[in-house]
Amino acid sequence: MGMLQAGNNYQVMPYRDEHLAMDFTQQAVILDSERMTLTRKEYDLLALLVQHAGEIIPREALLMQVWGYSPEIRTRTLDVHVRRLRKKLGGYADQYIETIFGIGYRFQPFHAPRFFRPQVVQPAMAVGA
Amino acid sequence: MGMLQAGNNYQVMPYRDEHLAMDFTQQAVILDSERMTLTRKEYDLLALLVQHAGEIIPREALLMQVWGYSPEIRTRTLDVHVRRLRKKLGGYADQYIETIFGIGYRFQPFHAPRFFRPQVVQPAMAVGA
DNA sequence: GCGAACATGTAAAAACATTGTAAAAAGGGG
DNA sequence: CCCCTTTTTACAATGTTTTTACATGTTCGC
């Protein structure tokens, strides 16, 4: 059981854009009308990112939410999972999942403007001690 | 992590003038309606200057606030960062960031009159702590 | 004015930090 | 065991910050 669902049962609207659709109640992800096969962790990670589309989510937050890791733990598993997600997202990968250097990642809806680099929306560890 | 945010969470009003807008809660900077991409240090430096628009901030204060350097430390990194900020500010650069020879720098709102050298508004701790 | 002494500007290199990636190792459920 | 998933490992690639070296600018005494 992923860390995600632990007491986290609020209603979440399905996501949909030109290429990607995600139904959180069914845990179904569809890319260009084909069903994506995701492992548990891959799904949890993508779900978390998509549910916060447009927001930067710090690494620590992702590691906390999906893995239950506290900030001290040093691991590269997040990077590896991001990589596999991107692979499965095919050509849209970098369009969808942005790396925010030194902070974390952000999922962007397909058409979202991408001029710049908005910063972390808030979280405690985003920038400072 | 920047020295800036260390216990420095007082409310700061967003900045805005004809060309530049800065939202400190989101750490977002917009120049002529396009988002500026700043590295952490660049942002910290610009934020500090803008938050004290119109005031001269001595080099030592900047180095203290943004880098945590004490006055003895000899480094040119401040100059280099100022340069990069100016570059990213494009044509408005020298309009915005003034060099006060022998003292430090000052950020000026776009229309601000620019006679000559006002004195340092404050010494040592005006800016910080 | 002129030049010495010091401050700042600038480009490039060096140092440092973070993220990407492939492959191997470790875990877990039939 | 076998297969699939997850994590670690080791190194490559990329991003950021600082230093270095020299150019340019400013002040000040003469």
d(CA A63, CA A8): 16
**Cα–Cα distance between B77 and B83 in angstroms, integer?**
10
Inform me whether the pLDDT recorded for A114 exceeds 60: no
In chain A, residues 95 through 124 whose Cβ sits under 7 angstroms from any atom of nucleic acid strand D: 101-102
Q: Which of A3-17, B20-34, B84-98 has the lowest mean pLDDT?
A: A3-17
> Are residues B35 and A119, on separate chains, in Cβ contact within 8 Å?
no
Structure-block tokens of residue A1: 């059981």
Instruction: Among 1.10.287.130, 3.30.390.50, 3.40.640.10, 1.10.10.10, name the CATH number for the domain at B15-107.
Output: 1.10.10.10
CA distance A56 to A98: 9
Say which range, A115-129, B55-69, B95-109, B112-126, has the weakest mean pLDDT. Answer: A115-129
D20 C1' closest Cα residue: B76
Residue A10 or residue A16, greater confidence: A16
Distance from A85 to chain B by nearest Cα, in Å? Answer: 26
Is B5 near chain A, with CB under 8 Å?
yes
Q: Using the beta-carbon criterion (under 8 Å), do B26 and A119 form an inter-chain contact?
A: yes
Candidate from A118, A121, A128 with C-beta closest to B6: A128
Per-residue pLDDT tens digits for B4-51: 544 444 567 999 999 999 999 878 899 999 989 999 999 999 999 999
Residues 9-48 of A with CB under 7 A from strand C: none
Nearest CA-CA distance, residue A129 and chain B, Å: 6
Nearest CA in chain B to A103: B40
Query: What does the pLDDT average to over B71-100?
Result: 95
Cβ B59 vs Cβ B78: under 8 Å: yes
Note the pLDDT of residue B12.
Answer: 79
Instruction: Work out whether strand B56-58 and strand B34-35 pair parallel, antiparallel, or are unpaired.
Output: unpaired
Q: Work out the average pLDDT over A68-75.
A: 94
What residues does each domain of chain A span?
A: 15-107
Lowest-confidence region among A72-81, A112-121, B19-28, B72-81: A112-121
Mean pLDDT of A94-113: 89
Confidence band, pLDDT 50/70/90 cuts, at residue A12: confident
The Cα A103–Cα A77 span in angstroms is 16
